[in-house]
A = this chain, B = another copy of it.
Amino acid sequence: MARGSFREQLLRVREDAIIESVNRLLAEKGFDLMTVDEVAADVGIAKASLYKHFASKEALAAAAMVRVLRKSAEVVAAQPADARAIDKLRAVTRWALQVQLAGEMPTLPSQNSSLRAELLGSAAYTDLLMQVSDELGAWIERAQADGDIEPALPGELVLYTLFARACDPVPGFLKAGGRFDDAQIVDMVLGTCFDGLRRRPERAS
C-alpha cells in the first residue's frame, strides 16, 4: 500500500513520537502513575492535541503495548530457521531482559480492568499476542521433543515463565545492587530461568 500523503506521514511521525514517550513513561512509572499531562509535556504538545490522536489514556498504553509486541514478533522472525528451538527461545528471552534492563519495557498492571478491556478489545493487540504465543509455543514443543526442555512441563507453564521475564523484578534489584553490569545480569537471570538454582551435574553441550 502507499505510504500516504505528506500530511499523513507527518501525522504518523508525530504519533510515533507519542508512543515512544508513552513507552518510556510506562517503563519508568507504570500505567497508574503515568499521567496524560506528563505524556503531553514529554512530547511537547498540549494535552488536548494528544486526545486528537488517542481517545483515552488506555488507548495510549495499548498503542505502546502493540508497539512492543510488534518488536517481539520481529525478534521472533529474525531467528535463524535452522537454529535449535531452545537457542531461539533463549535469544528471545535474552532480548526481553535487555529491553527491560534498558528501561524500555512497558509494564502494565494485571489488575486494572478498564485497561484490560481496552487491550482485549484491540484486535491489533490480541492478534499479535496470539501470533507471538503460537510461534513461541511451537518452539517450546520442539525443544521438548529435542530433549532440551523437560517434556513433563505443560507448554503453558513454559510460555508464561518466559513471558514473565519481561517484568521480572530480579534484574532491577541486581542492577540497583551495583555489583554487576547489564550483560552479567542478563546471563545470570537467563541461567536461573532455564537451569534453575540447583547445582547441576556437568552436561554434554
Residues on A lying within 8 angstroms of B by beta carbon are 28-30, 32-33, 86, 109-112, 144, 147-151, 153-154, 156-158, 160-161, 164, 167-170, 172-174, 177, 179-180, 188-189, 191-201, 203
Complex Cα distance, B133 from A177, in Å, reads: 15
Asked if B29 and A111 sit within 8 Å, CB to CB, the answer is: yes
Residues of the B chain whose Cβ atoms lie less than 8 Å from the Cβ of A180: 154
Chain B residues, CB < 8 A from A112: 33
Nearest CB in chain B: distance from A135 CB, A: 17
Minimum distance in angstroms from A24 CB to a CB of chain B: 13
Query: How distant is the Cα of A86 from the Cα of B158 in the complex, in angstroms?
Result: 23
Question: Is B197 in contact with A110, judged by CB distance below 8 angstroms?
Answer: no
Q: Which residues of B sit under 8 angstroms from A153, Cβ to Cβ?
A: 188, 191-192, 197
Contact B174 A169, beta carbon cutoff 8 Å: no
